Amino acid sequence: MNAEEDQAQQQVAHREFVHALQHEPIACHAVGCPGPVETSDLSQVRDRVKTFGLRCQRCGWEGRLTGREQLSPPWGEAALLSMAHEHLMHQQPSCPYDGTPVVFTSLPNPRRRARYRLSCFYCGRRAEMDWPPPEARQ
Ligand SMILES: [Zn+2]
Ligand SMILES: [Zn+2]
């Protein structure tokens, strides 16, 4: 397989990964099969990078989608603030490195302040921030 084909395959796999992450339908890889394909999240709670199992309920085709861990460089302050801002505006923030939708999880907060974890389940980057972010408090 040459580098271009490899890259094209990675793009398809990334698109399917995003569909799986957002619970959107994925097409069966068997030619002409209309599916439906069932997606299951095989990840453990602590996994930084998610793995999804795929199984076509019609023809039995099976597949697997996994992110590609890439933790450095980490998200910078500006990237974090812009993701926080998009979340506040009810838009879907995405990872600046790979375009994957970033998931916001609210964390238990011992200091009684709201705190969020931001996770990209494709590259495994993660960050935590107090909420609302400093910029939005003014
Ligand atoms: Zn099928
Ligand atoms: Zn990412």
> Within a 10 A sphere around the Cβ of 114, how many other Cβ atoms?
12
- Is the preceding omega at residue 73 within 30 degrees of 0, hence cis? yes
Report the predicted TM-score, pTM, of the whole model to 2 decimal places: 0.89
Quick: pLDDT tens for 73-105.
999 999 999 999 999 999 999 999 999 999 999
pLDDT-flagged residues of the chain (< 70): 1, 134-138
Query: What is the CATH architecture assignment of 77-137?
Result: Single Sheet (2.20)
What is the per-residue pLDDT for 138?
45
Contact between 7 and 68 (Cβ < 8 Å) = no
Amino acid at 55: R
What is the per-residue pLDDT for 136?
52
30 Cα: distance to centroid of ligand 1 (angstroms): 5
Residue 129 φ then ψ, to 5°: -145, 150
d(CA 114, CA 49): 25
Residue given tokens 């980057």 in the structure block? 125
Where, residue-wise, is CATH 2.20.25 in the chain?
77-137
Ligand with an atom nearest the CA of residue 100:
2
33 Cα: distance to centroid of ligand 1 (angstroms): 5
What is the per-residue pLDDT for 2?
86
33 Cα: distance to centroid of ligand 2 (angstroms): 31
Q: What is the β-pairing status of strands 62-66 and 51-56?
A: antiparallel
62 Cα: distance to centroid of ligand 1 (angstroms): 9
64 Cα: distance to centroid of ligand 1 (angstroms): 14
- Cα 89 versus chain centre, distance: 19
